[in-house]
A and B are shown apart, each in its own frame.
Chain A
Amino acid sequence: MSQTVETGAPAQAEPAKKKPALSEGKRAERRLGWLLCAPAAFVMVAVTGWPIIYSVWLSLQRYDLRFPDDREFVGLSNYAAVLTDKYWWTAFGITTLITVVSVVIELVLGMLLALIMHRTLVGRGLVRTVSLIPYGIVTVVAAFSWFYAWNTDTGYLTELLGAEAPLTQQIPSLLIIILAEVWKTTPFMALLLMAGLALVPDDLLKAASMDGATAWQRFTKVMIPVMKPAILVALLFRTLDAFRVFDNIFVLTKGANDTSSVSMQTYNNLIKGLNLGIGSTMSVLIFIAVAIIAFIFIKLFGAAAPGSDSGGKR
């Protein structure tokens, strides 16, 4: 991590000149802080920062590993190719649909589950334990379970959606993908919401109920406002996570019948098609899409953004 240390050293020397108040102990503390953080910062930047820059560079080239000699700088034409491609926009629409629908369902179910975990009179430990199972389980394992459940040869659920072979039709397939997503991630949502729920003062609820507020009013007027930061954090994390949906689609449909997500498209172009130029272009586009989503959320957060107060109080 020579980089941080190098840029760090002059930065530390300069204020020392201007403000002689900076004691030896303070300087040592700074140096130790940088030293301790340097390896983590280095790895994170080396594995994300540099590759994303590199992928911008790759995205400006025609670069197909099957025809490596044709490698050539082509400017923005890869972007033009992807952005006018029908399959890309279908995948983009499908990804957005899956993200929105599953996050909305997860929020409702997660809130219910959080209330259950928070309030249940019996078996609280049991409920909390089993609801960690979907969180912990390998996504691919869960995806195979759903695949075999809906598969016409083996499945116990096959006839449920009224379709002949649900995983070979677009709408039933999408429903199943959303089901798999929701099953897996609702508990995580619930845990984050439950942490917010714990911040709601019991006195406030009691007072509200004395004043004649119904359960629904207590929920919307007392709990939701207090929980707002927790809800936004949970929504942000889940939205970005859902936008990257890959594992479930890979196992359930392999992206057939227009059920492919943007991640799936990128994977197909890169690993199946060995087209680094187009694959990198898609990588960059997904990065931009995610950055926009994150930006919108952080605007919504305002001061409640996670990390804004993580500046280490004693």
Chain B
Amino acid sequence: MAVIAGSTTGRKAKWAVVDIVVVVYALIPVLWTVSLSFKTAETQTDKNFFPSAWTWQNYKDIFTTSEFIRALINSIGIALIATLIAVVLGTMAAYAIARLDFPGKRALVGVSLLIAMFPQVSLVSPLFEMERQLGLFDTWAGLIFPYITFALPLAIYTLSAFFREIPWELEKAAKMDGATPAQAFRRVIAPLAAPGVFTTAILVFIFCWNDFLFAISLTSTTASRTVPAALSFFTGASQFEAPTGTISAAAVVITIPIIFFVLFFQRRIVAGLTSGAVKG
């Protein structure tokens, strides 16, 4: 605890060691997957952490099968649509919660908190049956609806926390200076709200991208199976070959967007994750 003492080199070195431990902890499973994805079929089972022979073959394999490409398209499409809708609906609700006074507001906040805690598996049986009857089973919409539902509490919490921080007097000031309401919104409020909306979009996207339970229960063919679900159906190039390499390559591919978000928007993601949660 360096509360009082100044920062000496020794102290810094100690912290550097601690930092390295954390970095190794976080990265080991990721590096292992990357390593497996580059191992050749012959060295796949050599149990070395790093590949002794490198190959792009696994990546070539997954991108030549329609199975993976189709799953990737499903994943991207479903996650993007669900994110878009959840953020739009969430923004509307969060604006109302942060800015307007109306009865039922508390109930809405309570309901969304309940849903954040809802055991998703409890919905699997009824949704399975309902979607079969409505013809939504194994379609994009069949996954988009549950995703929106479980993303909404997250979106409403983060966004209303962000919206509460916006200095709304600026809007009034702009109008005084002769701006129309539309101008005031576009020039003053929208730029202030954009970071919060964007952050929420990232968090919601990560949530949809990650889901496995719904993806595996509410789909049955490649028509709407997303990558996390498709991974568990992968087979090797021949039936005598374990699909280790291809699964790892596919795993690396779907990890890339996450790494990208984390690297470029670290500060915002942290702010977004913690804003709603600790306002007790």
Give the B-binding residues of A (Cβ under 8 A).
Answer: 4, 8, 11, 26, 29-30, 32-34, 36-37, 39-41, 43-45, 47-48, 51-52, 54-55, 58, 113, 115-116, 119-123, 125-142, 144-146, 148-149, 153-156, 158, 183, 187-188, 191-192, 194-196, 199, 202, 205-206, 209, 215, 218, 229-230, 233-234, 236-237, 240, 243-244, 246-247, 250-251, 262-263, 266-267, 270-271, 276, 279-280, 282-284, 286-287, 289-290, 294, 304-314
Given A40-B93, A121-B15, A133-B262, A309-B280 contact (CB < 8 Å): yes
Most chain B beta-carbon neighbours within 10 Å: one of A149, A199, A313 = A149
Q: Within the complex, what minimum Cβ distance (angstroms) separates A254 from chain B?
A: 9
Q: Given A36-B96, A51-B126, answer yes or no on A144-B213 (Cβ-Cβ < 8 Å).
A: no
- Complex contact B32–A156 (CB within 8 A): yes
Residue ID in chain A nearest B44 by CB atoms: A154
Q: Is the pair A306, B113 in contact by a Cβ cutoff of 8 Å?
A: yes
Residues on A with C-beta less than 8 A from B25 are 183
Question: Which of B92, B102, B149, B254 makes the CB contact (< 8 A) with A138?
Answer: B254
Q: CA–CA, A218 to B130, complex, Å?
A: 55
Could you mark each residue 268-279 of chain B with 1 if its beta carbon is under 8 Å from any beta carbon of chain A, else 0?
A: 011001101111
- Pairwise interchain contact B119-A243, C-beta atoms closer than 8 A: yes
Known: A40-B156, A209-B4. A195 touches B278 (CB 8 A): yes
Give the complex CA separation of A116 and B21 in angstroms. 11
> Which of B90, B126, B146 is the most central at the interface, judged by chain A CB atoms within 10 Å of its CB?
B126
Q: Are A33 and B100 in contact (CB under 8 A)?
A: yes
- A40-B93, A205-B3, A233-B280 are known contacts. Are A240 and B117 too (CB-CB below 8 A)? yes
Residues on B with beta carbons closer than 8 Å to the beta carbon of A233: 277-278, 280
Closest residue to B253 on the A side, CB-wise? A141
State the total of A-B contacts with C-beta under 8 angstroms: 342
- Tell me if A244 and B19 are in contact (CB < 8 A): no
B129 close to A58 (CB less than 8 A): yes
Q: Which of B128, B130, B269, B280 has the most CB of A within 10 A?
A: B280
Are B122 and A52 interface neighbours, CB within 8 A?
yes
Q: Which residues of B contact A282 (CB under 8 A)?
A: 125
Most chain B C-beta atoms within 10 Å of own C-beta, residue among A54, A113, A309, A310: A310
| CB proximity of A23 to chain B, nearest CB, Å | 12
B1: which of A11, A26, A218 is its contact (CB, 8 Å)? A218
Which residues of B in the span 225-279 have a Cβ within 8 Å of any Cβ on A?
Answer: 227-228, 231-232, 242, 244, 247-248, 251, 254-255, 258-259, 261-263, 266, 269-270, 273-274, 276-279
With A43-B148, A44-B115, A141-B228 known, 19 other A-B pairs at CB within 8 A are A47-B145, A116-B18, A120-B15, A133-B27, A138-B227, A138-B228, A209-B4, A215-B1, A233-B278, A271-B216, A283-B125, A286-B119, A290-B117, A294-B117, A310-B97, A311-B106, A312-B101, A312-B105, A314-B164
Stretch of B171-179, B182-190, B204-212 lying at the A interface: B204-212
User: Interface residues of A: mostly helix, strand, loop or mixed?
Assistant: helix
State the CA gap A194–B267 with chains docked (Å). Answer: 13
Q: A120-B19, A133-B26, A306-B277 are in contact. Are A39 and B32 (CB under 8 A)?
A: no
B263–A154 contact, CB under 8 A?
no
Q: Tell me the complex Cα distance, A140–B254, Å.
A: 11
Contact of A154 with B129 in the complex, beta carbons under 8 Å: no
What distance in Å separates the Cβ of B23 from its nearest Cβ neighbour in chain A?
5
Known: A138-B210, A154-B244, A311-B106. A283 touches B123 (CB 8 A): yes
Q: Given known contacts A140-B231, A246-B213, A267-B217, is B280 in contact with A229 (CB within 8 Å)?
A: yes
Cα separation A134 to B11 with both chains bound (whole Å)? 27
CA A88 – CA B96 in complex, angstroms? 44
Q: Are A312 and B93 in contact (CB under 8 A)?
A: no
Q: Beyond A276-B128, A290-B119, is A29–B102 a contact (Cβ under 8 Å)?
A: yes
